[in-house]
């Protein structure tokens, strides 16, 4: 009987803690001024789609927003996207200035509700078994692109764009981001 109780206690101890809801670690609405904007007419405004109004970064299509920052461990990019005038192709990618990786793409149609986007960024932070690849030390370029479909100009709104992560990862990220900034990392 003791062996069974010991086994149950050991099994319970080995199980990870319950996963908490992720929290916002990077709010791109607040960090909009740090984005490279092409064209520069992207702005923060309240945008409405499907009867719901959200804080958004809105601008012309074709266009691109790029932020350069380290990635939190266990990170996810989340946003809601709306096309205002015509269909828009959107792409989300990441670059370390050597290689660009496309993480997500879809077409958004005007007149629809906000389209929810959830992209895993966990591969771009943390420890990896490599002498040369150290994702925690890289300041990644997160690229949000909007392409005109059929050459028809449009407007797009990136509603409540953010990076979320678990609470422990957020604490580690904030400390690492300060260290990277102080060390003068690009």
Query: Is residue 8 domain-resident?
Result: no
Whole-number mean pLDDT of the chain?
A: 85
CA–CA distances in Å: residue 116 to residues 10, 49, 63, 79, 113: 40, 12, 19, 6, 9
Residue 15: is its pLDDT beyond 60?
no
Domain encompassing residue 125: 20-182
Residue 98's pLDDT band (boundaries 50, 70, 90)?
confident
- With pLDDT > 90 as the criterion, what percentage of the chain qualifies? 62
How far is it, in rounded angstroms, from Cα 172 to Cα 53?
A: 33
Query: Is residue 33 domain-resident?
Result: yes
pLDDT score, position 176: 80
Query: Is residue 5 domain-resident?
Result: no
Q: CA geometry: angle at 69 spanning 67 and 72, to 5°?
A: 125
Residue 11: is its pLDDT beyond 90?
no
What CATH number did the domain enclosing 86 receive? Answer: 2.60.120.260
Query: Is residue 52 domain-resident?
Result: yes
How far is it, in rounded angstroms, from Cα 121 to Cα 142?
A: 10
Query: Is residue 44 domain-resident?
Result: yes
Say which residue, 173 or 147, is predicted with more confidence. 147
Query: Is residue 55 domain-resident?
Result: yes
What are the pLDDT digits (tens) for 104-142?
999 999 988 999 999 999 988 866 544 555 566 788 899
Mean pLDDT for the stretch of residues 49-65? 97
Query: Is residue 15 domain-resident?
Result: no
Please state the domain count of the chain: 1
59 forms beta bridges with: 156
Tokens 């740090």: give the residue.
Answer: 34
Mean pLDDT for the stretch of residues 82-90? 96
pLDDT score, position 150: 87
DSSP state of 50: T
pLDDT score, position 156: 98
Query: Is residue 96 domain-resident?
Result: yes
């Amino acid at each position: 009987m003791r062996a069974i109780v010991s086994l149950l206690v050991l099994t319970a101890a080995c199980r990870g803690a319950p996963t908490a809801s992720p929290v916002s670690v990077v709010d791109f609405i607040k960090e909009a001024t740090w984005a490279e904007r092409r064209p520069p007419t992207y702005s923060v405004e309240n945008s409405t789609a499907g009867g719901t109004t959200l804080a958004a970064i809105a601008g012309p299509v074709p266009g691109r927003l790029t932020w350069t920052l380290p990635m939190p461990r266990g990170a996810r990019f989340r946003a809601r996207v709306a096309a205002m005038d015509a269909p828009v192709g959107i792409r989300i990618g990441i670059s370390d200035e050597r290689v660009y990786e496309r993480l997500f793409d879809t077409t958004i149609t005007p007149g629809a509700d906000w389209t929810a986007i959830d992209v895993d960024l966990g591969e771009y932070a943390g420890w990896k078994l490599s002498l040369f690849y150290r994702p925690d030390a890289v300041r990644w370029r997160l690229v949000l692109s909007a392409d005109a479909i059929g050459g028809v100009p449009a407007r797009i709104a990136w509603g409540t764009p953010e990076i979320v992560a678990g609470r422990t990862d957020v604490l580690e990220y904030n400390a690492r981001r300060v260290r990277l900034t102080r060390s003068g990392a690009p």
